[in-house]
A = this chain, B = another copy of it.
Amino acid sequence: MTSPSLPPITTTCLYSETSIPYYPAMQKTARRSQAIVRPPGRPREFDMDTALDRAVRVFRERGYHATSIGDLTAAMRLATGSIYKAFRDKHAVFLAAFERYTALRQEQTRSAAARGATGRERIRHVLLSYVEHSQGSEGRRGCLVVGGAVELSALDPVVGARVNAQLKSNESFIAGLIREGQADGSIPRHVAADDTARLMICITQGLRVVGKARLPLDGMRLVGVAMKLLA
């Protein structure tokens, strides 16, 4: 989905980007049925998703406040002016990076779930995937949801709302898997789906904290223990 090089036209005309306005003045993407209409003026040269992936990386490593515009220009390979052409301010860069990050993570989690045949097995794979992402160098890079919750949600209502929504979305995904497991017989009926899902969200978020703090995490062992919650 993200290309390492910078194709000059591809991105400009398609608007494959996830959601809401990145841009100070966002044009309506398409008036009627034809979706591919190039907006007026000089087209953007850089690939937005590539640039955002690079911003994600910096924000994950340094957090919001410790990341300067200079850090972003270096990482995103854009000049100061270009960043401010593309985003209202640093806050908007973070928000766009956050969206990009959660979209990619959601994809990874769904595909991990898809590796299981029953509800129970799907949950096992989701948890395993979380442990893997919380471990080693990837884990030390950190998680934007956890980072946003800890560093920003008390100071910034917009980020707070996004973090809250993301956690709820993850939680209801897990709760859904639990109910699937109860339907297919792999998880006992007496398991409290919502409470267990909330606790599992705590586990996943805690894994990221512990992984960032460089405690080693053994996926098989930890998930093995955690699966008792579905007994």
Interface positions of A (Cβ within 8 A of B): 61-63, 65-66, 140-142, 146-147, 149-151, 153-155, 160, 163-164, 167-168, 171, 192, 195-196, 198-199, 201-210, 212-215, 217-218, 221-222, 224-226, 228-229, 231
Contacts and interface: CB of A to CB of B under 8 A. Distances in A.
Contacts of A212: 149-150, 153-154
Contacts of A150: 63, 142, 146-147, 150-151, 209, 212
Contacts of A163: 213
A74 to B, nearest CB: 16
A203 B195 contact: no
Nearest to A149: B213
B222 A198 contact: yes
A202 B196 contact: no
Contact of A229 (B153, B217, B228): B228
A151 B198 contact: no
- For chain A, what secondary structure do more than half of its interface residues adopt (helix, strand, loop), or is it mixed? helix
Nearest to A209: B205
Contacts of A142: 150, 154
Given A195-B221, A225-B229, A164 B214 contact: yes
Contacts of A209: 146, 149-150, 202, 205-206, 208-209
Contacts of A231: 228, 231
B210 A207 contact: no
Contacts of A61: 154
Contacts of A217: 198
10 contacts: A61-B154, A63-B151, A65-B65, A65-B151, A160-B214, A168-B215, A201-B206, A202-B206, A205-B205, A226-B229
